[in-house]
Amino acid sequence: MFQLTIMANPNQEIIYKKLFINNEFVDAQSGKTFVTLNPQTGKPLAEVAEADKADVDLAVKAAKKAFERGSAWRDMDASQRGRLINKLADLIEQHKSALANLEVLDNGKPFAEADFDIQCAIDTFRYYAGWCDKIHGNTIPADGGSLAITSKEPIGVVGQIIPWNYPTLMVSWKWAPALAAGCTIVLKPAEQTPLSALYAAALTKQAGFPSGVINVVPGFGETAGHALVIHPDVRKVAFTGSTEIGRLIAENAAKSNLKKVSLELGGKSPLVVMQDVDLDEAVEIAHNAVFANHGQCCCAGTRTFVQETIYDAFVAKSVELTRKRKVGNPFADDTLQGPQIDAESQQKILKYIELGNKQGAKLECGGNKWGNEGFFVEPTIFSNVTDNMTIAQEEIFGPVQSVIKFKTLDEVIERANKTSYGLAAGILTKNIDWALTFARAVEAGSVWINCYDAVTPQTPFGGYKQSGHGRELGEDGLEPYTETKTILVKLPTKN
Ligand code: NAP
Ligand code: MG
């Protein structure tokens, strides 16, 4: 393997700024561009070609052609698809510095986190590369003396719409299972973070994917995203983002051609801390559950439920740890928290903090914007939070921890489930009965015991209730990209 040195470089050159259609970088049909900002400074970073309906039409046409019978992609051995995906993973590894730098510049996350995300993306590609020639159906003893077999077939052209919080990682979660299944792809990255997806697109060409298999159309949700959602030749849309837009996409997809939809949406996930924990360890896990990626994580454990006997000590230690959290330049080695994604998000978070104060929660630390430029918010903790407060109910998507007191396990299970979301949950305890009772009762797609945010390529991830439809990652993650076909053979009745 390669010996890699990962280098932070705030002057990373931005090479790929055009749409990627049919293995070429092209201008938008309209000639329009849009600006992506550097959230650390709030200043323009790059001008990127802006796709709208006409470009989405071209991209879908290319993806449809690449999926036709007799095409290089359709005729390719499944094992060869696996080799291409592994080649892409190798190339991402070779280009890790460039991708991580683009991520920091475009999104604002600290370099070490960007580096970690890209490693997770590589792992995801490698995991699904191994699946390509293992996706198969059954032989079934059907009634009527017949022989039935099922096969798993790629669903066709898929539209994929992703958010800005984990730009490269989201690309891998979307592309890897779709490619493993044999689909072709049109992806719209978030308007705030189009750069790393375009860079990854260039690597797919270098890896040798045939023209039209992967297309990337940066642009806005209401135009490019919508055009993809209602396109009659798109068979399925995979979306990650807000519950509000997820609902709209499900409606529009149904109204157009009833295309299939998978949704990975928001959350207001509970992390329960029982009284038997090692306090320092629990404080740190709960801290990272909220503040990782500046709170911009769909599964963030933003409702920290702490048992009453350890509540005051837990709050005091959490405040001590959070005050030490270094905010600032995401390229600096010791920075743990960079800027929020944009001014709108910063304002929204500050509004929630104002509401927390107004509704009677106790502000323990933070609570303000940070610095004079860019979109920073101080890491913030509220104690004395009650379940009915807005900060305990709505997704803030920022660095705000709500510490909530509870007495018994039964009580906290009921309160943890009192939300329209159900993406993730966690419990910290040494008592196996408590841990498993909670894990079985909580309505969430992922339950983490004595850890949090433990997402791996091998394990399914997705939401109960209004946190989504379907699962990504693991074997389950292939399901949204395949159709099951039954082939039944009538056998002769005698002999
Ligand atoms: P969003 O509006 O749901 O955007 C996610 C993606 O959907 C973006 O690519 C967006 O395009 C696109 N989109 C928007 N409107 C669309 C439409 N009508 N049809 C098709 N695609 C459309 O999320 P956001 O504005 O980035 O963030 C808003 C809130 O969503 C956050 O504060 C947070 O609560 C939640 N969120 C959740 C996750 C998650 O991982 N579950 C991730 C990000 C945000 P644009 O790029 O033009 O917006
Ligand atoms: Mg940006």
* Ligand 1 atom 11 nearest Cα: 221
What pLDDT, on the 0 to 100 scale, is given for residue 317?
A: 98
The closest-lying atom of ligand 1 relative to the alpha carbon of residue 467 is: 41
Does 352 contact ligand 1 (Cβ within 6 A)? no
* Ligand 2 mean position, distance from CA 398 (Å): 17
Distance of CA 164 to the CA centre of its chain: 9
Cα dist. 288→243, 282, 322, 400 in Å? 24, 10, 10, 11
**Domains of the chain and any CATH numbers:** 19-265+468-484 (3.40.605.10), 270-456 (3.40.309.10)
Cα–Cα distance for residue pair 260/158, rounded to 1 Å: 9
Q: Which of 50, 93, 103, 264 is catalytic?
A: 264
Cα–Cα distance for residue pair 92/95, rounded to 1 Å: 5
Q: Of the residues 186, 242, 259, 466, which should be mutated to test ligand 1's pocket, given the most ligand atoms within 8 Å of the CB?
A: 242
Cα–Cα distance for residue pair 63/60, rounded to 1 Å: 5
What pLDDT, on the 0 to 100 scale, is given for residue 107?
A: 98
What pLDDT, on the 0 to 100 scale, is given for residue 493?
A: 74
What pLDDT, on the 0 to 100 scale, is given for residue 3?
A: 47
Cα–Cα distance for residue pair 245/164, rounded to 1 Å: 14
Does 34 contact ligand 1 (Cβ within 6 A)? no
* Ligand 2 mean position, distance from CA 341 (Å): 7
What pLDDT, on the 0 to 100 scale, is given for residue 1?
A: 46
- Ion ligand 2: residue ranges with CB closer than 5 A: 36-37, 106, 192
What pLDDT, on the 0 to 100 scale, is given for residue 491?
A: 84
Cα–Cα distance for residue pair 86/275, rounded to 1 Å: 46
- For residue 271, give the amino acid letter: L
19-21 β-sheet, strand order: 24-26, 19-21, 214-216, 184-188, 157-161, 236-240, 260-264, 468-469
Does 194 contact ligand 1 (Cβ within 6 A)? no
- For residue 142, give the amino acid letter: A
* Ligand 1 atom 42 nearest Cα: 241
The SS3 call for residue 102 is helix
For the chain, residues with pLDDT lower than 70 are 1-4, 494-495
Q: For 6-59, give the DSSP string.
A: ----TT------SEEETTEEE--TT--EEEEEETTTTEEEEEEE-B-HHHHHHH
Instruction: Write the CB contacts of 220 (distance below 8 Å, at least 6 apart in sequence).
Output: 34, 50, 52, 191
Q: Of the residues 245, 262, 464, which should be mutated to test ligand 1's pocket, given the most ligand atoms within 8 Å of the CB?
A: 245
* Known catalytic residue at 264: yes
What pLDDT, on the 0 to 100 scale, is given for residue 494?
A: 67
What pLDDT, on the 0 to 100 scale, is given for residue 495?
A: 57
* Known catalytic residue at 299: no
What pLDDT, on the 0 to 100 scale, is given for residue 323?
A: 98
Q: Which of 297, 298, 299, 365 is catalytic?
A: 298
What pLDDT, on the 0 to 100 scale, is given for residue 429?
A: 98
- Decide if 265 contacts 467 (C-beta within 8 A): yes
Tell me, yes or no, if the pTM score tops 0.75.
Answer: yes
The SS3 call for residue 306 is strand
What pLDDT, on the 0 to 100 scale, is given for residue 397?
A: 97
